Amino acid sequence: MTPERVSYDQLLGISGCLGLALLAHVTTLPLWVPAIVVACGLIRLGLARSGRGAPPGRVLVVIALLVTPLLFVRFHTFNGLVAGTALLSVAAGLKLLETKTQRDIYIVTLIVYFVSLAALLEGDSFWLLAYLIGVCWLTTATLLRLTSGGPAPGWRRSLRYGGRVLAQALPLTLVFWLLFPRFAGPLWQIPNDSQVTASGLGDTMSPGDITQLALSDEVAFRVRFDAASPPNRERYWRGPVLDYFDGHTWSHSPTSDTTVAALQPQGPAYKYTVMMEPHRHRWIFMLDWPSSWNLPRAELNSDYTLMQPEPLSRPVDVVGTSYTQVQAIEALTPKIRNRDLRLPRNRNPRTQQLAQELRSAHADDLEYAQAVLAMFRQQAFFYTLTPPKLSDDSVDEFLFDTRRGFCGHYASAFATLLRAAGIPARVITGYQGGTLNPYGDYWILRQSDAHAWTEAWIEGRGWVRIDPTAAIAPERVERGLADVASADESLASPWQRKSLWFSGVRLRFDAVKQLWRERILDFDQDSQRKLLEMLNIPEPDGQKLVMVLAAAMGLVLGWLTWQVRRELSPRSKDETARAFARLCAKLAAAGIARLPHEDAEAYARRVARLRPDLGAVVTHLCRQYSFLRYSAPSTGVTLGQFQAAVRAFRPKASGVS
């Protein structure tokens, strides 16, 4: 390895590759990191352009000393993914700046490969993978030009060669990917530095909060039921349970009580997989009353919301079982009862009075609840996406003045009325319904499916789900929000009203995305086990997997050896004949077909006579053909040249003959 000085051309190539790899990080890295790298690259290129070498070492030391603390201030660690990528990127920039020999560039190529990989640790789209494979291809082609001993081969040639190596690597890649043993969990805990911002439902609810979500078609999660899906009126996905009301906003009061009340499930059990999108909250949306789940570190809180130890920063799949109806076994603890009866004093006085009046007519809890729902149904309550703003006594104002509201308003008012009558009640936020994707047989729950409902404690039965919004606008529960909203007021975004085929395309697209997630992103131990079962291997385990991997690798490597060495066999004369046949075909298309008895020379003479404009070229080509066909190898012209000449030969059809 002779330390050769690098040229401008080589630097330009590798700087381009580094830039393209960094482009995949642009959304996660702080902007000044790629800016530093680009500046380094430009300075080095400028120096190389004017024929100067790398700046002295102390300049680099100064830059490194300046940038490293800056990075640390920004991230507080170098252990995390983004911080590590930032550090690596800066290192690549500095390496580029100090590049003197080819060996320095080799190191930059390795960094480019690793930076590309880091992008895949964060992102998960097909396009990202395709883009980074493209970057890898380009980098490898650049490397071919760098390592070449003589004059560097042209870009086209290098790309073709790199593409060929890439293509030959694909079968082996597939074998590795399918059969390389996967571990169940991470090797060590990953620092959580993902930049995903919190989205979706929060852990408080003020009037109008959910209205904002109603217009978002962002996917919150997807669900696939193992067997039949529960009916629409049963598909309530439990999120944060809100028990504290200050008269305007509902929130979750921190309790020390973490005991999970035992329940007697009723009705069918539903087994399903929830595929959560990252939302930066700790909760996971499970069907109403979850009884089992496969996340070892997640736990139910006392309100039956499934909580993760830390916020969800990457997509998570949960296999769970739930019931939609339960029967309490134990009585409500006094602590919870007090919590769920509390109302702010001196707030919403008219509501309190209304509750007293209704309560005196309906002593039974359920009857009382029915009476309130009947009031919503019979009186002039409207369901709208654009409710008027409410002041501090929000429930009073809503029940007696505006009477226009969204699910949050109804849930809030209903829970207040129940509590005022001495019935423990709370507001549940979550999602309801969802859209079935017929192309993938799973449910999509978008932010627009966000919902709020109530649960009331009925003595002898336990918590009973009551959805007051269903009383005012039954279609709201029976069908999706989009339909109701557009029927009511056309606030929904234009796509929601577009023709059916458009939503069909959307669903198809989502189904492909889902397939990508389930088949590729979620490929795991279990999938490998199923794969081995498909290969008729009994009782698949890790050891058998490795054996299959070894066997498959042997096969593919054998294929590769054959594939690579196949090209070593000498060129047959047939190729010469084939090239000549192509020439004849071209001439035939131009109007002069070769007669069966004509040899190359005679044919050339005839062409020259009929088409003087082509004469010289054709005579030359026919002579080359005779050379290749009948004289000893390696005289005069090569087959490659002849083939190229035939390929370049384009006779114009003409009426001269």
Partner 1 sequence: MASLRHAASNQLRARVIRRHGRDNLPVSINRRRIYILPTRFGFMLGAILIAMLVAGLNYNSNLALAFTFLMSSMALVTMHHCNRNMLRLTVDATTEVDAFAGREALLEFELRNGSRVDRRDIEVRCLSAAGMGSVAAGESTTIEVIAPVAQRGVTRISQFELRTRYPFGWFYSWTYVQGSILIYVAPAPRGNRGLPSGAAHGGGSHSEARGDEDFSGLRAYEPGVPLKHMAWKVLARGGEPVVRSYSSLAAQPEWLDWSMLEGLDTEARLSQLCLWVVESDAAQRPYGLRIPGKELAPSGGAAHRFACLRALAAFGTGAT
Q: If you search the block for the tokens 């300075």, which residue do you land on?
A: 43
Structure tokens at 79: 């252990």
Distance (Å, whole) CA 328 – CA 501: 47
Instruction: Show Cβ contacts of residue 497 under 8 Å, excluding neighbours closer than 6 positions.
Output: 486, 490
Q: Which CB sits closer to partner 1, 121 or 585?
A: 121
Q: Which CB sits closer to partner 1, 546 or 588?
A: 546
Q: Which CB sits closer to partner 1, 150 or 494?
A: 150
Return the closest-CA partner of residue 464 out of 399, 433, 431, 418: 418
Structure tokens at 355: 């509750």
Q: Is residue 180 a contact point for partner 1 (CB under 8 A)?
A: yes
Q: Is residue 372 a contact point for partner 1 (CB under 8 A)?
A: no
Q: Is residue 81 a contact point for partner 1 (CB under 8 A)?
A: yes
SS (H, E, C) 346-379: CCCHHHHHHHHHHHHHCCCHHHHHHHHHHHHHHC
Q: Which CB sits closer to partner 1, 393 or 518?
A: 518
Distance (Å, whole) CA 316 – CA 462: 31
Structure tokens at 65: 């000393």
Q: Is residue 309 a contact point for partner 1 (CB under 8 A)?
A: no
Interaction with partner 1 in 623-642: which residues (CB under 8 A)?
A: 633-634, 638-640
Q: Which H or E run includes 622?
A: helix 612-630
Q: Is residue 296 a contact point for partner 1 (CB under 8 A)?
A: no
Q: Which CB sits closer to partner 1, 438 or 640?
A: 640
Answer for the pair 274, 320: CB distance below 8 angstroms, yes or no. yes
Interface region with partner 1, contact rule CB under 8 A, candidates 165-173, 601-609, 616-624, 644-652: 165-173
Residues taking part in catalysis: 407, 451, 467
Q: Is residue 78 a contact point for partner 1 (CB under 8 A)?
A: no
Q: Output the smallest distance, CB 529 to partner 1, in A.
A: 16
Q: Build a one-symbol-per-residue string for 102-141: x at contacts with partner 1 by CB under 8 A, - elsewhere.
A: -x--xx--x--xx-xxx-xx-xx---xx--xx--x---x-
Residue 360 burial class via C-beta count within 10 angstroms: exposed 0-12, middle 13-18, buried 19 and up: exposed
Sign of CA dihedral 499, 502, 508, 510: negative
Total number of residues binding partner 1 (CB under 8 A)?
Answer: 66
Interaction with partner 1 in 443-482: which residues (CB under 8 A)?
A: none
Interface region with partner 1, contact rule CB under 8 A, candidates 12-20, 321-329, 444-452, 563-571: 563-571
Q: Build a one-symbol-per-residue string for 489-528: x at contacts with partner 1 by CB under 8 A, - elsewhere.
A: -------------------------------xxxxx----
Q: How many CB atoms are located within 10 Å of the residue 309 CB? A: 9
Of the candidate residues 557, 585, 589, 616, the single one contacting partner 1 (CB under 8 A)? 557
Q: Which CB sits closer to partner 1, 176 or 225?
A: 176
Distance (Å, whole) CA 375 – CA 407: 16
Q: Is residue 574 a contact point for partner 1 (CB under 8 A)?
A: no
Instruction: Show Cβ contacts of residue 147 under 8 Å, excluding neighbours closer than 6 positions.
Output: 102
Distance (Å, whole) CA 633 – CA 239: 79
DSSP 8-class letter at 101? B
Of the candidate residues 7, 253, 264, 561, the single one contacting partner 1 (CB under 8 A)? 561
Return the closest-CA partner of residue 18 out of 39, 44, 5, 37: 37
Q: Is residue 32 a contact point for partner 1 (CB under 8 A)?
A: no
Instruction: Give contact residues for partner 1 (rule: CB under 8 A).
Output: 1, 81, 103, 106-107, 110, 113-114, 116-118, 120-121, 123-124, 128-129, 132-133, 136, 140, 143-144, 146-150, 161, 165-166, 168-170, 172-173, 176-177, 180, 182-183, 185-188, 190, 520-524, 557, 560-561, 564-565, 567-571, 633-634, 638-640
